[in-house]
Amino acid sequence: MHIEETPFTKRRRFIVFTQKQFAEVAEQQRKMLFESMKDKLLPAKHPAYAQVNRVAQRLIRANNDIPIIHDQKWSVTLIGDKEKNAFVLPTGHIFVFLGMLEMVANDDQLGVVLGHEMAHTILGHGAEQVSVSHFVDYFVIIVMSALWAILPSDVISGFSTYVMNKIVDVMLHLPYSRLLETEADEVGLRLSAKACFDVRESVSFWQRMNIVSHFEGDVAAQVPEFLSTHPTHETRAQKLEESVPKALELRKECNCPPLPLRNPQLDVAALKAKLSKADAVDDPWKPFIVVIK
């Protein structure tokens, strides 16, 4: 057990594992993940690998001065699923769902997404989350043991345990998870800027996610932020918009080519108008539906 600082953000945190111990945990996680998704893994010859490899290699080459990126062995695996998701394991394995590739409008947006996911690995968020959970669970066990000793019945004790777990989730686990997501957004934007991606697309991507989620009626996107592990799409877009000017300066320092004059926000507005128009079309099954009043 020790206290350390995160790379880049210099935030102090509590870590239970040594690097060697967590590497063993991460490798076990990798094996279990491959086994659980074996029916959805796409072969290396799938055409979608070209875009993911291109973007991932660009991020890695541009940030190779960072020891964790330089020393890590990176690989890409595609998952044939419509879920809009991507993640990077502490082992350097990059997983991208086909649903995410359908969601991003261009390489710049995919660069932002992969930059965010790689940032989780660089910042050691996996080990940090496990460490925090370990510490919190230990505290909860002590409190609940005391409650079970003094409460008059198993029913009341059981209900108290349920309430306690919910309070811990809302007050500790969920806010901490959102903190890590915001931190990964911030650091991921730096990685994307150094790779000369159009960092303005970070805002556009989360605005697109917000528009499409509402259009598709995504239940998860409707959950209040305080009950979610992630900030809302709107919150992420707003925070990234605040960080974009600094990322653009970093991009200039890296001698990146000038950005196109066209504002990515125009594409977001066009998407919103298109989906609003589609949403307004009459339901073709309307003649066969009787509304109950």
Annotated catalytic sites, by residue?
117
- Residues 6+ positions from 151 with CB-CB distance below 8 Å: 157, 160
Q: How far is CA 7 from the centre of its chain?
A: 18
Partnered with residue 206 across adjacent β-strands are: none
- CA distances to 22, 132, 277 from 15, in Å: 10, 8, 51
Query: By the 8 A CB rule, do 128 and 176 touch?
Result: no
CA 179 to CA 29: how far, in whole Å?
A: 23
CA 69 to CA 63: how far, in whole Å?
A: 7
- Residues 6+ positions from 106 with CB-CB distance below 8 Å: 201
Dihedral angle, C-alpha 70, 51, 106, 7, nearest 10 °: -20
- CA distances to 5, 118, 129, 131 from 14, in Å: 9, 21, 10, 7
CA 129 to CA 131: how far, in whole Å?
A: 5
